[in-house]
Amino acid sequence: MNIYEVLKIYFGYEEFRVGQKELIEGVIDGKDVVGIMPTGGGKSLCYQLPAIVKEGLTIVISPLISLMKDQVDSLKEIGIEASFINSTLDGQELVDRLMDMRRGRYKLIYVAPERLNTRNFKSIVKNINVSFIAVDEAHCISQWGHDFRPSYLEIPKFIQSFACRPAVGAFTATATKYVIDEIKSLLNLQNPIELVASFDRPNLTYKVVKTSNKYRYLIKYLKSKHENGSGIIYCSTRKSVESVAKKLQEKHIPVVFYHGGLEPEIRRKNQDDFILGRARIIVATNAFGMGIDKPDVRFVIHYNMPQNMEAYYQEAGRAGRDGEPSECILMYSPSDVVKQKLIINTDGLSQERQKILLANLQILVNFCHANDCLRAHILRYFNEDVTLEKCNNCGNCLDESEMIDITLESQKILSCIYRANERFGVNTIIDILRGSKNKKIIQTGLDKLSTYGIMKEYSVYVIREMIMTLISKKIINITTDKFPILKLTKTSINVLKGKEKVEHKKYLLVEENKETKKETKQKQYEQYDEILFDKLRKLRADIASNKGVPAFIIFHDVTLKEMAFSLPQNKDEILDITGVGVKKYEVYGERFIEIIKEHIKDKEME
């Protein structure tokens, strides 16, 4: 069988994604490889497909236990013998699997790095034919990466222990040169074939949201946009994870939560609820996610700012692995930036490291302030040539909302900051502008300022919104103190003197701002028969719950949608659907065809 046949028959796909073919051919030829692809880019296929073709066993080293089970289940579904070895197995299970491994039962074995250098694992590996070692999430080996795992340092030792070293492949979504170099040197890769796929994820709509009331935005978003799709909401601390989750539960939005402080069983249960589709939404710290290969995540919301672009892109990239339109929303707030800075400043880090971290944070802050294409910003960050200056599928490209001139208002705000001697934060400045009778204002004599009450007619919300925009445009500077203070900048003077105009999106200055975003362009098969899709989904859910596996392991949403669009009614037709390979056809195909046929009949009778 050639690799296209394997791709079609086992995986049900017609074509390789960018980079896959070269890497797969390299692995089959016995070469070392480095595959750098964005999250969802299809790295697993690069070692799974060769494993089927090659003689012997492929060892996959992977950091997360949750990932192993899903991948092994998926492989079994398409008729490939695979298994995993990690701390979830009891003694007998471990012995059984090691025996099966020795007998050559598996094509792939997933192993946690901690297990590699154990005596029983090594002694078996020594006596069998290992064709390839795949190091997944390889950036975990780098101390400079954002996901360093000390256990990954076990890997070089393991590789060196082979009398005849198998080829080694490293796979990661991290594109930083420094990290890549470290991966290559620590794993001692030999003239590897290196492939960097494009980091563009066309199906993802990036959006930065600036709102003074994140929670309200979130509720609206969840209620209006995503009544069905599943999503991840990232918060920066355990405390905010719990409080956001609690608030959403009070609103009867089905969420579970996840952070490192939970009991392992609860963590595990919540994660399973999300992956198996029992809970639609998970609120989590960044401890959640690596190795979560759930393909149908329709949105990822960052309720707080991440630390840098690298981390942001990886987390946001967990949306839409199945290629379907999905949204990545980053909620920007200046106070989050301040918090991140405080963490960086107090970590006992070297000056040099602090500088790097601050510079990395600033890149993300600039991203949030961008007025032009967000996708172009991301791709430039990952060193890609940007050919299209406008992607027409990001918050900025899609935003055609009306702009209004707020130069006068800006001047009022700036002169208030000036009159108050640049000593106060957002709240006090708003109080002065609105002529508040607040005790603190009166006692400190701020009511005597000439700017006291000059914006009486504006709500707190609107003034705050304007201040946030002025900060984002660097017309106001916000300090990194514990209680951030507003300061003037060089540009403030230009605005005050009327040399520079300030514009603002109009709808953001209406308190109940209505989202008027255009729907993203839909694929042709998005015109599928929705009733049929629901029927197919129901069948899939029945099969999945009978087997105790997540629904996507049976078929992805894309596959069902395509069925509900093309209406396959026999073997050949259904094998043409993306994601239907021979094995899955044999096990489930006819049941799905039956539903489709029935549905067509019902419609004819109507």
295 binds ligand ADP (CB under 6 A): yes
Report d(CA 201, CA 343) in Å as an integer: 31
| Binding site partner of 373, from Mg ion, ligand ADP, Zn ion, none, Cβ cut-off 5-8 A by kind | Zn ion
Measured from the CB of residue 572, what is the shortest distance to ligand ADP in angstroms? 20
Measured from the CB of residue 379, what is the shortest distance to Zn ion in angstroms? 10
DSSP secondary structure of 256-267 = EEE-TTS-HHHH
41 binds ligand ADP (CB under 6 A): yes
Taking each helix axis as running N to C, give the angle between helix 334-346 and helix 351-369, from 0 to 180 degrees, rounded to the nearest 10. 170
Burial call 303-342: b when 16+ CB within 10 Å, e when fewer: bbbbbbbbbbbbbbbbbbbbbbbbbbbbbbbbebbbbbbe
43 binds ligand ADP (CB under 6 A): yes
Q: Which of 36, 109, 330, 397 binds Zn ion (CB under 5 A)?
A: 397
Q: Helix, strand or coil for residue 346?
A: helix
Taking CB under 6 A as the binding criterion, the range among 8-16, 355-363, 376-384, 460-468 that sits at the site for ligand ADP is: 8-16
| Binding site partner of 391, from ligand ADP, Mg ion, Zn ion, none, Cβ cut-off 5-8 A by kind | Zn ion
Q: Which of 115, 321, 434, 504 binds ligand ADP (CB under 6 A)?
A: 321
Measured from the CB of residue 194, what is the shortest distance to ligand ADP in angstroms? 16
Measured from the CB of residue 24, what is the shortest distance to ligand ADP in angstroms? 10
13 binds ligand ADP (CB under 6 A): yes
Report d(CA 28, CA 309) in Å as an integer: 34
16 binds ligand ADP (CB under 6 A): yes
Query: Checking DSSP bridges between strand 503-505 and strand 403-405, what pairing results, if any?
Result: antiparallel
Report d(CA 230, CA 177) in Å as an integer: 34
19 binds ligand ADP (CB under 6 A): no
Report d(CA 330, CA 312) in Å as an integer: 9
Tell me if 130 sits within 8 A of 59, measured CB to CB: yes
391 binds Zn ion (CB under 5 A): yes
234 binds ligand ADP (CB under 6 A): no
Taking CB under 6 A as the binding criterion, the range among 39-47, 228-236, 277-285, 503-511 that sits at the site for ligand ADP is: 39-47
Report d(CA 215, CA 194) in Å as an integer: 44
Measured from the CB of residue 112, what is the shortest distance to ligand ADP in angstroms? 17
297 binds ligand ADP (CB under 6 A): no
Report d(CA 95, CA 103) in Å as an integer: 12
Give the dihedral sign, CA 566/570/575/581.
Answer: positive
Report d(CA 138, CA 136) in Å as an integer: 5
Question: Of the two residues 397 and 544, which places its CB atom closer to Zn ion in the complex?
Answer: 397
529: left (phi over 0), alpha (psi -120 to 50) or beta: beta
Question: Of the two residues 121 and 132, which places its CB atom closer to ligand ADP in the complex?
Answer: 132
Under rule CB under 5 A, which residues in 351-380 are in contact with Zn ion?
Answer: 373, 375
Q: Helix, strand or coil for residue 162?
A: coil
- For residues 285, 286, 288, 292, the Cα torsion angle rounded to the nearest 10 degrees is 150
**Binding marks (x or -) toward Mg ion, 16..55, rule CB under 5 A?**
---------------------------x------------
42 binds ligand ADP (CB under 6 A): yes
Under rule CB under 5 A, which residues in 408-447 are in contact with Mg ion?
Answer: none
147 binds ligand ADP (CB under 6 A): no
Residues that bind ligand ADP (CB under 6 A): 13, 15-17, 20, 37, 39-45, 293, 295, 321-322
Residues that bind Mg ion (CB under 5 A): 43
Residues that bind Zn ion (CB under 5 A): 373, 375, 391, 394, 397
